[in-house]
């Protein structure tokens, strides 16, 4: 009799485990998106160099402890990888074409500038307290600060100078093509942003 109760108990336990574990539903994720083209804008930008940057940011925000008992902080480790594109906005330049003399004059060439920064941000080791949680605004602020850090690094680095060198190479190529087709071209020199 004891063996029969033991076997029945075992079978009942196995059945319950099967019922609860086997009936677990798999996770269902639904992702709906509506993509809307907001604006189309004609641009004339010449990207002459790209730089890839990586930065690790240690974010730490502390507020005074609530009632001097409950810690009130949040922190994270943030990995920022960004592509910075530097070149020239040619809409700022002036072009003058003289069909009779077969000449082109390019003046008021813009300085090399950052045309785009494309960040990829990953958050690691997020820790917050009950009274100081990470909110969507925090993530937006962190992303804005990360892009500003990358922008600062780009401006302090060699990319603007390299952009000018590559820009000069492109302008020489344009001049050679124009000359090969019987045109004369005058180009103002490129300069660094002051």
Task: Say if 64 falls within a structural domain.
Answer: yes
The answer to whether residue 114 is domain-embedded is yes
Q: For residue 1, count other CB atoms closer than 10 A to its CB.
A: 5
- On whether residue 27 sits in a domain, the answer given is no
Structure confidence at residue 194 (pLDDT): 46
Q: How many domains does the chain have?
A: 1
DSSP SS3 for 2: helix
What angle, rounded to 10 degrees, do the helices at 159-180 and 136-156 form?
A: 70
The answer to the question of residue 3 being in a domain is: no
Of 26, 165, 31, 181, the closest CA to residue 102 belongs to: 181
pLDDT in tens, 141-172: 989 999 999 999 999 999 999 999 999 898 88
Residue 17 falls within a domain, yes or no?
no
Domain containing 117 equals 40-187
- pLDDT higher than 70, residue 23: no
- Residue 47 pLDDT greater than 80, yes or no: yes
> Is residue 1 assigned to a domain?
no
Domain contains 22: no
Averaged pLDDT, 2-17: 75
Domain annotation covers residue 102:
yes
């Amino acid at each position: 009799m004891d063996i029969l109760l033991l076997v029945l108990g075992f079978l009942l336990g196995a059945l319950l485990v099967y019922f609860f574990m086997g009936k677990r539903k798999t996770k269902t994720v639904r992702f709906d998106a509506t993509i809307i083209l907001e604006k189309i804008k004609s641009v004339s930008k010449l990207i002459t160099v790209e730089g890839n940057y990586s930065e690790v940011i240690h974010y730490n925000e502390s507020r005074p402890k609530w009632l001097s008992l409950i810690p009130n902080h949040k922190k994270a480790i943030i990995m920022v990888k960004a592509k910075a594109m530097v070149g020239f906005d040619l809409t700022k330049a002036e072009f003058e074409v003289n069909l009779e003399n077969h000449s082109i004059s390019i003046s008021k060439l813009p300085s090399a500038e950052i045309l785009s920064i494309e960040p990829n941000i990953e958050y690691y080791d997020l820790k917050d307290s009950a009274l100081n949680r990470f909110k969507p605004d925090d993530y937006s602020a962190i992303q804005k600060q990360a892009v500003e850090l990358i922008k600062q690094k780009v401006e302090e680095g060699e990319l603007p100078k390299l952009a000018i060198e590559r820009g000069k190479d492109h302008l020489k190529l344009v001049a050679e093509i124009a000359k090969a087709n019987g045109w004369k071209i005058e180009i103002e020199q490129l300069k660094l942003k002051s």
